[in-house]
Structure 1
Amino acid sequence: MQTAMAVPANISTVDLDFMNSEEETLLLLYFAEIENTSGSRIFDININGETKFTGLHLVRNHSAIEVPILIDRTLSLLTLSKTSNSTMSPILNALEWYQRVTTAPLTSSEDVQALASVKKIFNLSNWNCISDPCFIYPWEGINCNNGLEIVRVLEIDLSNRNLTGSIPSTLGNMTALVKLSLDNNHLTGGLPDLSKLVMLERLHLQNNDLSGDVPDWLSELPNLKDLFIGNNNFSGVIPQKLQDLNLLELTYEGNNYLCVRKEECRLSSHSHGRRGKTVSVPVVVCPIAIAGIISLLGIIIYRKKFGRKEIANSGTQGTPTGNRESRYVPGQDNLIISVPSTPKSRSFSLEEMMTATKNFSRKIGQGGFGSVFLGELAEGKQIAVKILSFFSEQGIAQFLNEIELLSRAHHRNLVCLLGYCNASRDLMLVYEYMSGGSLNDHLYGRNKSKYPKLGWKSRLKIALHAAQGLEYLHTNCTPKIIHRDIKTANILLDANLTGKLADFGLSRVAADDVSHVITAVRGTAGYVDPKYFTTHVLTEKSDVYSFGVVLLEIICGRRPIDITLSEPQVDLVKWVMPLVKEDEDFMNIKELVDKSMDNNYNKDSVIYVAKLAMRCIESKPIDRPSSSDVVMEIKGAMKYEI
């Protein structure tokens, strides 16, 4: 590029002749201004007499331009023509001339055809390559056995791609496939027949919406070692032959209608479809049927009311366990569930829970999981016992998720899980008791009368505690944990108003080398990140958005969604946004601040936190601070209060 084809200023055109070719041609032209002059160099580019580029202008200071030209017919003449307003002649520093050469694909034709079908079905734009899937640079997510004479595709990784629709049956033709990963998408339907994949060792299909029975042909795959189908809508009974495979690692939790043994299945695949849908069936009821229904309801009520007392007389005792293996125990709906046994999760008996809570006589709360009761263990420690409601929208998956995560995540600003109880269809979580209630209680609920004036310093301290808990989840846990339900109701307080994050039923883990998780939207209205809501892409910044809403709550003293207010004020974020844009210096911050604080706050401190909150709720996740930045910023705001 340091030399160039240059002509005198009085020459207005430069012609280059090419050897005729019937093949498609790609021409790459390079232009760089290598003269320090005060004149202008502007010219047109013509191919075979047809203008391709008009008024190409070279910037001085040795900057370069590359101009690609694709020619679909014979290339014979390239002309550079000086324009009327140019003082200098055309210049050409370098060129590259490519012609398309048709070659047979190196990859097996069966694999190429199958991948072409997958590409079309899923609209995979990143597979829009000139080469075949395995040639020199394999397509994204494709691994091949390039050392053999016939190249075959061994691995396909299409996880975390936001894919929709059903799994293409053409994948069944890729008979050399060893690993197929389709985790964390939105795939639906049943498993197509992949029985020809006799080389398949790993099949990963977790976190989709796949349904139907688990097919028998899976147990006929001789090399299958990993089968991960958890968190789908599979139903029926896991084939016994599949369970009997000694070397198979099978993960299937989170399929509400899938069980291990037929006699333990109360719900069949024929009576339930997709998870979360209710199928309405017209029924004609006669008097005898009504009597039967009344009798059945009586039995259910009796079991729910007296079942605990009957089991309590069994005399079983829960003990701390050190076995990391899972054990299978009867759970809700007579399904078989696996409860992780860890050294830090104590298994309590129902008798212990009834004794501690005095037969569940003191209810202190109600959440999506179920009722919460106050209790006291034999050693004198106060506890909060959360019981899974029969009608809970969260259910067993969240129950297990909470045990798993809080058994390994320990921080002074996370609520401590002491253990669990799993007996007689009653699933319970046992926590340390937080006598101060929740931040939500102090701002709007039952503790507002007990603490009528939660001052700014206290609010700021609680926000710092919660931010430190969130920072721990995002940066110190391996793999990192995304809470997914940050809100004032999930920030609990002890007697000294120390804040701790609670309720990990909706939390998700993500490997440190993974930037995001594709998952169904969960959370609480008013706190959910709009970007996550529209894309299903969950990141740590989704938690940061929710925390920004919490910061606005402690400033404004109002709920994120309040339908009792006028329409412009219903949504806290939408109400605050225009006010801030009109007043970027927050001169009128007093209009936003909770009136119950009676002006007992440092204005600079409040403005500092308000600016932080606005950064947290930025529409683009990349523009939001990290949880570590949030901790640092809140500490900065606290300096004004010294």
Structure 2
Amino acid sequence: MIYKGATCGVGAALILATVAFLLYKRHKRILEAQQRLAKEREGILNASGGGKAAKLFSGKEIKKATNDFSADRLLGVGGYGTDQVLNEVRILCQVNHRNLVGLLGCCVELEQPILVYEFIENGTLHDHLTGQMPKGRASLNWNNRLHIARDTSEGLSYFHFMAVPPIYHRDVKSSNILLDFKMNAKVSDFGLSRLAQTDMSHISTCAQGTLGYLDPEYYRNYQLTDKSDVYSFGVVLLELLTSQKAIDFNRASDDVNLAVYVQRMMDEEKLIEVIDPVLKNGASNIELDTMKALAFLALGCLEEKRQNRPSMKEVSEEIEYIISIASAKGVAKEVSK
């Protein structure tokens, strides 16, 4: 009995020692990760990359501003971890454009890091298109939609051609396009964005993004380029034209994917049938022509092979041209009255 008890005691001691060792190793890993994170935070917040510095808010300030995270102050909940939040800070500290949501600062004191943005009061493009805005809000007219398309394309074009190094958004979608009180569009949510290396044509990375907007070439070979954003933006253009969701299981099984659905209707010469009735009912011939022109542009963005897609700069220029046609018709109408 004594021998057995001694054996049990030694076994228990070994188990305790093993558990203690594992806990020590885990604590050490956490501590090292925290130290690396703190160093990275410091670099980002001090704009070590050459961009502007982010304002550092205290946990107390954040709790006061949100009434201790009251539900009535909640606009949305992100699904990103600490690294992705810091990535978003890094991205936003390097850019400044009227069609990109501005970063005011961040808080790293609380359990989860928090980003503080300028307030964009008019909700998301997705909410407007799908009728989820408060009652009384007017639906988006064709002029609104064209200008939202232009604003968004200019923000993305800035990312691709003016940022150094270029930036790929990776999650372009209607719910990441915010509208201010003048219905100007601002691109938001840069947690998945990646900085491109100037000597590389693409970035190899596991495919991330949102189904219905994801570039099929990126999904297949994990090579991210500016044309991946172009593809996603093409889906947004279809949403602007149709007011339908990128993925909708209420459509026929072959038409769940909006890009596939519109392409099929285009092939069958039924494009006009997919345009939002709010837009086409009562539209002039010129307005219908500009809707078709935007649809052709959208499908160009959705070309299977990325080399066949236009650049975001070319997309922006084409939208500006479509707007000029619509505006010229508007002026002609006024003159004829």
TM-score (norm 2): 0.81
Distance 2:87 2:206 in 1: 16
Identity %: 37
- Measured in 1, the distance between the counterparts of 2:153 and 2:182 equals 17
**Residue number among 339, 351, 357 corresponding to 2:66 in the alignment:** 357
**Corresponding residue for 1:340?**
44
Post-superposition offset of 1:629: 0.3
How do residues 454-473 of structure 1 correspond to structure 2 at under 5 angstroms?
Answer: 454-473=140-159
Whichever residue aligns with residue 279 of structure 2, its letter is M
Q: 1:526 to 1:589 in 2, by over 3 A?
A: same
**Structure-2 change in CA distance of 1:600 and 1:469 (3 Å):** farther
Tell me if the contact between 1:481 and 1:507 (Cα under 8 Å) persists in the aligned partners. Answer: yes
Letter in 2 for 1:593: I
The answer as to whether partners of 2:66 and 2:73 remain within 8 angstroms in 1 is no
Within 1, Cα distance between the matches of 2:170 and 2:178? 16
* Counterpart-to-counterpart distance in 1, 2:195 and 2:163: 9
In structure 1, what is the Cα distance between the partners aligned to 2:53 and 2:295? Answer: 39
Tell me the CA shift for residue 451 of structure 1.
Answer: 2.5
1:629 equivalenced with 2:314 (yes/no): yes
Q: Equivalent residue for 1:432?
A: 118
- Flag as ranges the 4+ runs of structure 1 deviating above 3 A: 235-238, 258-262, 336-339
1:386-440 CA-partner distances (Å, limit 9, x unpaired): xxxxxx4x20111110000001111000000000011131311000000011101
For residue 422 of structure 1, what is the amino acid of its counterpart? V
Task: Verify: 1:533 aligned to 2:247, yes or no.
Answer: no
Task: State the 1:236 CA deviation.
Answer: 5.7
Bigger relative contact order (CA 8 A; separation at least 6): 2
Shift of 1:595: 1.5
CA 1:347/1:496 → structure 2, altered by over 3 Å: closer, same or farther? same
Question: Which structure has the highest helix share of the two?
Answer: 2
Superposed CA RMSD = 2.3
User: Could you say what secondary structure the match of 1:340 adopts?
Assistant: helix
Note if 1:640 corresponds to 2:307.
Answer: no
1:240-278 residue CA offsets vs partner (Å, 9 max, x unmatched): xxxxxxxxxxxxxxxxxx54449x79xxxxxxxxxxxxx
Q: Larger Rg: 1 or 2? A: 1
3-state SS of 1:429 partner: strand
Return closer, same or farther for 1:364/1:453 CA change in 2, 3 Å cut-off. same
Which has more strand, going by share of residues?
1
Q: Residue deviations 1:335-372, cap 9 Å, x none?
A: x97662134300001111122222222234324x2xxx
Q: Aligned residue for 1:548?
A: 234
Write the letter of the residue equivalent to 2:56: S
- 1:453–1:597 Cα contact (<8 Å) kept: no
Q: State how 1:181-330 maps to structure 2 within 5 Å.
A: 258-261=29-32, 328=38
Equivalent residue number for residue 511 of structure 1: 197
Task: Give CA deviations for 1:424-478 in whole Å, capped at 9, x if unaligned.
Answer: 3131100000001110110115316343421111011011000000000000001
* CA displacement, residues 216-235 of structure 1 (integer Å, 9 cap, x when unaligned): xxxxxxxxxxxxxxxxxxx9
Cα distance change, pair 327–568 in 1 and its aligned pair in 2 (3 A): closer
Distance 2:151 2:53 in 1: 23
Tell me how far 1:589 sits from its aligned partner.
Answer: 3.4
Partner of 1:441: 127
| Runs of 5+ consecutive residues of structure 1 not aligned to the other structure | 1-234, 239-257, 266-325, 330-335, 370-391
Q: Counterparts of 1:529 and 1:639 in 2: how far apart (Å)?
A: 30
Q: Which position in structure 2 is the counterpart of 1:597?
A: 279
Partner SS, residue 38 of structure 2: strand
Structure 2 residue identity aligned to 1:348: F
Counterpart of 2:296 in structure 1: which amino acid?
Answer: K
99, 102, 105: which one aligns with 1:413: 99
Q: 2:295 aligns with which of 610, 620, 626?
A: 610
Gap change, CA 1:396 and 1:327, over 3 Å in 2: closer
Distance in 2 of aligned mates of 1:554 and 1:327 = 40
* 2:115 aligned partner, one-letter code: L
TM-score of the two chains, using structure 1 as the length reference: 0.44
Partner of 2:176: 490
Query: Match of 2:104, SS?
Result: strand
Aligned residues of 1:439 and 1:493 also touching (Cα < 8 A): yes
Alpha-carbon distance in structure 2 between the residues aligned to 1:424 and 1:417: 18
